[in-house]
Structure 1
Amino acid sequence: MVGISTVALIERRVDISRSLFTRYWRDVHGVMAARIPGFASYTQYHVTPIDASAEPFEGIAIVTYRTEDDRAGLIHSEVTQHIHLDEQNVFRRALLYNLEEGASRHLCGNAEAEGQVMFVVVEAGHDSDAALAALNDTAIYLAAYDLRGGDPSRWNLTDAGERIFIALLHGIWPDRDSAIAASRSCDGVAYLLDERHVMVKDGRATPVGLRGLDAVKTIEEAGADNQLTDAVVRAVYGTSAAP
């Protein structure tokens, strides 16, 4: 696990449908964000809370960097001002936590393991270590992000709200039922993964990060594999795509 990271907790605007939020975050906002220099990786997780009355985050993003200097692109790049404005199109809240090295921990397993992905968000006043210990009993992969060192008010132009979140726990379980059972044993709000999209990998935007999933699906459906070659991508986008 790369130690320097940014975690985002995202809530959609109530007047935007879930379908539109998913497509816009992935194919418009995500494609813009993939142009920010310095990202080692950028992954979108589209999620649904297990408890419908819980904190209504529907997006979790994790960005990693090779060095602290690489994170400067998030603040100072030309695209950043446009990212800020674009968030207001579909996000009610976009809480970004810039975490130092050591704020993320890998407890067990492989992040690429097959199974049901689940996140748990722990609010201030609750015990994140106890929640982590409860999940660790059954998870086949588990990582933790300590959000206490991040200050979302330094980024957010949407409605930050008053609640304070201290940890994000990221795990994988053999199946949906075992994930839900694990969520009942911990003190936090649990979210099941619906879609995962890798936008940047190994420092380069993926085809989805360059074009959006709908465009890639259209290319694949037409059998137009030449559209995905590095030569075409470099000519059109000025860069190579991650495999």
Structure 2
Amino acid sequence: MEKGQSLGVDDTAGLENAAELALTAFCWWRADIPHDVCEAYWRDVHGIMFARVPGLWQYRQLRLAANRPDLWPEVQGISFDAADVAQPQGMPHGLFLSEADLVAFGSNPIARESIPNDAHNFIGRIGAQLSPPGGGRTLVDRINDPAMQGPPPVPTFVLCFVPRARAASAEAFHRYLSEHVARPWSRHPGVMRLRVEPLPPYDRSAMASPGVAHQWPNDETYLGWLELAVRDEGVVGDLLAGAAADELAEQVKAVHTYPVREVYTIISAGRPTEVGLRGYPAVQTIIAAGAGDQRGEAVLNLLFGDAVLGLDQLRRRT
């Protein structure tokens, strides 16, 4: 089955918007291991474990660079600075079509035991949050690459929002972020991709990993984030032109802007990608050698069995 065929969608936004639930995790790497080792381990050891568990509709790893306050104009009442200790280095993002798929994923021994027990090998701190059902939405995607591997083709950022203490309920803030920030921004001609992801107030990590700290590094926890890809960096500042800045300042205390250096897609449309099955270095080596037969469905099925089917494997059993 071709990806997305069963749902009648073949575009990235349509594929992502078919999902009901989203899991976001903010990760800080271990300080005693080089960051490049942590990132390689995350993608090629830890990441491929997810590709062996049915239930996920999409699973991506976003590698983040340091906060970029310089991209924004000065706005009274909003801070664009983030303390070094509070800046995450990685953000895994998973989508589930339904609550039943989330339960199936979580009850699998790999997801229940192996993945959490492995996290301490490269993660020093984690904060994972499950978005409200139906809250996340991809409003525009002109890039249309549902299985992106490597650096994004245009400047891409994760924008994280810290609400004002006097802000209304989390639900009201989520509506504001979705309808008054994300939706109008998505109409800007320079915006190539925009996804909005509301987050619940952070209490404790939704993912328990033995040996990994779960407390947030400071009191500026996020109540939502946007994935924003733009034609050029100048578009970011344009989004706060005019009255939009004053309105944002009434709701938002801080905006932290993390450039996305690389994206690795482990699962797309319910099935593992080649990177999810083999790891990125192996796939790159196969491509460089021109070994096309190694990328065929027949070989992958022989090597990886039912893992190749991903979510389809779960459907066949129910």
Query: TM-score when scaled to structure 1?
Result: 0.86
> In the alignment, what sits opposite 1:133?
181
Change (3 A) 1:176 1:16: farther
> In the alignment, what sits opposite 1:16?
33
Deviates most, 174-183 or 51-60: 174-183
Q: CA deviation at 1:205?
A: 0.5
> In the alignment, what sits opposite 1:146?
198
Give me the whole-angstrom Cα distance separating, in 1, the residues matched to 2:301 and 2:278.
13
Give me the whole-angstrom Cα distance separating, in 2, the residues matched to 1:193 and 1:9.
13
Q: Is the 8 A contact 2:20 2:98 kept in 1?
A: no
> In the alignment, what sits opposite 1:220?
287
Give me the whole-angstrom Cα distance separating, in 2, the residues matched to 1:150 and 1:34.
27
Q: Is the 8 A contact 2:194 2:228 kept in 1?
A: yes
Give me the whole-angstrom Cα distance separating, in 1, the residues matched to 2:34 and 2:299.
34
Is residue 2:247 matched to residue 1:165?
no
Q: Is the 8 A contact 2:132 2:198 kept in 1?
A: no
Give me the whole-angstrom Cα distance separating, in 1, the residues matched to 2:309 and 2:295.
8
Q: Is the 8 A contact 2:49 2:115 kept in 1?
A: yes
Give me the whole-angstrom Cα distance separating, in 1, the residues matched to 2:240 and 2:159.
8
Q: Is the 8 A contact 1:141 1:173 kept in 2?
A: yes
Q: Is the 8 A contact 2:20 2:134 kept in 1?
A: yes
Q: How many residues align?
A: 242
Q: CA deviation at 1:89?
A: 0.6
Instruction: Tell me the SS of whatever aligns to 1:165.
Output: coil
Q: CA deviation at 1:214?
A: 0.5
Q: Is the 8 A contact 2:127 2:204 kept in 1?
A: yes
Instruction: Tell me the SS of whatever aligns to 1:49.
Output: coil
> In the alignment, what sits opposite 1:196?
263
Counterpart among 100, 104, 110 of residue 69 in structure 1: 100
Identical amino acids, percent of aligned pairs: 24
Q: CA deviation at 1:60?
A: 1.3
Which sections of structure 1, spanning at least 5 residues, go unmatched? none
Q: Is the 8 A contact 1:233 1:241 kept in 2?
A: no
Instruction: Tell me the SS of whatever aligns to 1:100.
Output: coil
Change (3 A) 1:45 1:71: same
Instruction: Identify which of structures 1 and 2 has the higher relative contact order when contacts are C-alpha pairs closer than 8 Å and 6+ apart.
Output: 2
Q: CA deviation at 1:7?
A: 1.2
Is residue 2:167 matched to residue 1:122?
no
Change (3 A) 1:60 1:182: farther
- Match for 2:50: what amino acid? A
For residues 51-66 of structure 1, what are the structure 2 equivalents within 5 Å?
51=68, 53-54=83-84, 55-66=86-97
> In the alignment, what sits opposite 2:231?
174
Give me the whole-angstrom Cα distance separating, in 2, the residues matched to 1:58 and 1:3.
26
Instruction: Tell me the SS of whatever aligns to 1:31.
Output: helix
Change (3 A) 1:79 1:93: same
Which sections of structure 2, spanning at least 5 residues, go unmatched? 1-16, 69-81, 146-152, 168-172, 249-253, 311-318
Change (3 A) 1:152 1:175: farther
Q: Is the 8 A contact 2:129 2:206 kept in 1?
A: no
Instruction: Tell me the SS of whatever aligns to 1:7.
Output: strand
Give me the whole-angstrom Cα distance separating, in 2, the residues matched to 1:37 and 1:145.
23
Greater Cα radius of gyration, structure 1 or 2: 2
> What root-mean-square deviation, in Å, do the aligned CA atoms of Structure 1 and Structure 2 show?
2.9
- Match for 1:155: what amino acid? M
Instruction: Tell me the SS of whatever aligns to 1:190.
Output: strand
Q: CA deviation at 1:124?
A: 4.7
Report Cα offsets for 1:91-150 as digits up to 9, x if no partner: 112222122322213344446385211111223536764697288266343221111177
Deviates most, 171-180 or 107-116: 107-116
Deviates most, 79-88 or 216-225: 216-225
Q: Is the 8 A contact 1:210 1:241 kept in 2?
A: no
> In the alignment, what sits opposite 2:302?
235
Q: CA deviation at 1:78?
A: 1.3
Q: CA deviation at 1:183?
A: 8.9
For residues 85-100 of structure 1, what are the structure 2 equivalents within 5 Å?
85-100=117-132
